[in-house]
Structure 1
Amino acid sequence: MDEVEVVVAHRERATLRVGDVFLKVDGDPDRTAVEVTAMALAPVPTPQVLWCTPPVLALAAVPGAPLARLGHRAVSPPAAWAAAGAAVRRLHDAPLPPWTAPDADAVAERLDRECAWITAHDLLPSDLVQRNRDVARAVLRPWTPVFTHGDLQPGHVFVADDAVTGVIDWSEAARGDAAFDLAVLTLGFEEHLPAVLDGYGGDVDVDAVRGWWSWRSLTAVPWLVQHGFDPFAPGCEVDVLRARARA
């Protein structure tokens, strides 16, 4: 009998693995509905939906290995990062999904709220927060909405033989800023941004990508702390903020 592996678990959701089947348990049925619909619409490889009975979604494992994982040394070659960039381009060129993401005003409000929480709990030096807050303001500009994954961590992109074999975890998919997906994909792996952009092609607002690195890290720190994760681990969000402050 296959053992049950807890892949990730927190107060909002949990993912279990039993053999080649992943069971995602989510307390919000809307997120599950978004995930199933987004995978059906996305023009990139996604996991096969085996069945869905909210609050549980059963997915088949995808082949390959994660492109990278935040806090760990990246071993995937530049060609694999370029392939990931090309897959993101296909997604961004696809017809828009029927639901929207927060606009620039909401993005600014969340930045203010999370920075205030970090400061109130004395988690990070105020000058580090302010420097990254200044960098993050680059994202507060109009953008043309595209079909975004919304949580495109390199751990959610699977590759084999320098090709993308699957993209997982679509519950945050929406109409959004293309630079956000590119930033999340390369968060903590700045050295691989050129390869991703080579695969992506076209004009990219690199300042916005850098701004999203700071925004994503600042807004992630409170959530991670509140849910029992460690943003201070080597190579993770706090190290990204320190690197942005030195840039």
Structure 2
Amino acid sequence: MTSAPRQWTRAERLAPDRLTAAVHRATGVRLVVEGPCPGGQVGAAYVRWPDGHRSVLKWRPGARLDELRAGPLAVCAVLRERGYPCPSTELALQVDGAVVLVQELLPGAPPDVLDHDGLDRALALNAAQAGLLAGRPDVPRVPLYLREDGPGYCLHDPLRRHSGRGAALEERIRSVGAAHPPVLAGDDVVHLDFHHGNLLAVDGSVTGVVDWDGAGRGDHRFDLVTLRFGLHAEEQPPGVVGRLDELLDTLPEDVLRPCWAHMSLRMTDWAVRHFPPEQVEHWLELAEQRL
């Protein structure tokens, strides 16, 4: 996350300045905003501490700090204890209806594509997430939202109203939801948004995994399905997608099917509401491959 800042919109400029002012009032620490993080993220900015070191400021509107401490922040603490390259949280603060997080700035930047070495590293990281939350019933399980709407994503109605094709897919998703539990089973760490845009690398070596805001407890293989959808966004080096598909083919049906249904709903709903029509078809085609 070391690329040069882009120009901000006025709304983006105001949010981090207001939040750093709130941090100063609450803690006495004055953070200097340097610019937005790359990738078009409105909710993340680079900041500098009084001692000169740089961090990432993030904000979660509508979130509660106690819920984050029980979920994503607890997950990250477990990961760091095991040496997993997850950023530490240097400051966490409730500011009215939002949570402000200041997190460690890890070295590296997301790769443009995922090559075979990168896939090997991603698979190894995913395997390292297995079983890490055994004995931690306090960490919430990851919900799938296959029969009801998620909190601002995984919405059913936009897909139903989009087209006959979309409605048919949404019906299949609800059918999968009726046949499976509403949350993921298992005691693994689940990132929830494990794609190569959230991997950091330096000279081809992965240096960190970021954006754990939705992390929880469940089956770590869910993240492999997320990775597959992430690779669908752009053309990848030859053979990479095929290797991941072969791995997904080995997953039990009661694992793969609900995970695929969730990601199908998540991406097609989001595409319907935010992407051009031709991109909606792009995601519908992927969703239909395993539903």
Q: Secondary structure at the match of 1:3?
A: strand
In 1, Cα distance between equivalents of 2:141 and 2:174: 18
Indicate the structure (1 or 2) with the bigger Cα radius of gyration. Answer: 2
C-alpha contact 1:180 1:212 (8 A) present in aligned 2: yes
> Which residue is equivalent to 1:71?
none
Q: 1:133 and 1:179, CA in 2 relative to 1: closer, same or farther beyond 3 A? A: farther
C-alpha contact 2:33 2:45 (8 A) present in aligned 1: no
Aligned amino acid, residue 150 of structure 1: L
Q: 1:30 and 1:233, CA in 2 relative to 1: closer, same or farther beyond 3 A? A: farther
C-alpha contact 2:129 2:190 (8 A) present in aligned 1: yes
- 1:107 corresponds to 2:138: no
Q: Secondary structure at the match of 1:134?
A: helix
> Which residue is equivalent to 2:36?
5
The share of aligned pairs that are identical, in percent, is: 20
Q: Which runs of 5+ in 2 are unaligned?
A: 1-31, 49-53, 233-238
- Equivalent residue runs for 1:4-23 within 5 Å: 4-5=35-36, 8-9=41-42, 14-18=43-47, 20-23=54-57
In 1, Cα distance between equivalents of 2:269 and 2:283: 15
C-alpha contact 2:271 2:283 (8 A) present in aligned 1: no
In 2, Cα distance between equivalents of 1:59 and 1:132: 37
- 1:36 corresponds to 2:84: no
> Which residue is equivalent to 2:226?
184
Residue 225 (structure 1) shift:
6.5
The C-alpha deviation readout for 1:176-199, integer Å capped at 9, x for no partner, is 23332111122142563554589x
> Which residue is equivalent to 1:64?
108
Q: 1:89 and 1:26, CA in 2 relative to 1: closer, same or farther beyond 3 A? A: same
RMSD: 3.8
Q: Secondary structure at the match of 1:178?
A: coil
> Which residue is equivalent to 2:211?
169
Aligned amino acid, residue 62 of structure 1: L
Residue 138 (structure 1) shift:
5.4
Which deviates further from its counterpart, 54-63 or 205-214? 205-214
Q: Secondary structure at the match of 2:129?
A: helix
Compute the TM-score of the two structures, normalised by the length of structure 2.
Answer: 0.62
In 1, Cα distance between equivalents of 2:176 and 2:85: 32
Q: RCO (CA 8 Å, sep 6+): is it higher in 1 or 2?
A: 1
In 2, Cα distance between equivalents of 1:5 and 1:103: 30
Q: Which residue of 60, 67, 74 corresponds with 1:26?
A: 60
In 2, Cα distance between equivalents of 1:240 and 1:210: 17
Q: Secondary structure at the match of 1:8?
A: coil
The C-alpha deviation readout for 1:26-51, integer Å capped at 9, x for no partner, is 23124542332221111421113232
> Which residue is equivalent to 1:156?
198
In 2, Cα distance between equivalents of 1:243 and 1:87: 25
> Which residue is equivalent to 2:284?
241
The C-alpha deviation readout for 1:76-117, integer Å capped at 9, x for no partner, is 31111111011011012323443222556x533349x83334
C-alpha contact 1:22 1:60 (8 A) present in aligned 2: yes
Aligned amino acid, residue 47 of structure 2: V
Q: 1:41 and 1:232, CA in 2 relative to 1: closer, same or farther beyond 3 A? A: farther
Aligned amino acid, residue 240 of structure 2: H
C-alpha contact 1:179 1:205 (8 A) present in aligned 2: no
Which deviates further from its counterpart, 164-173 or 32-41? 32-41
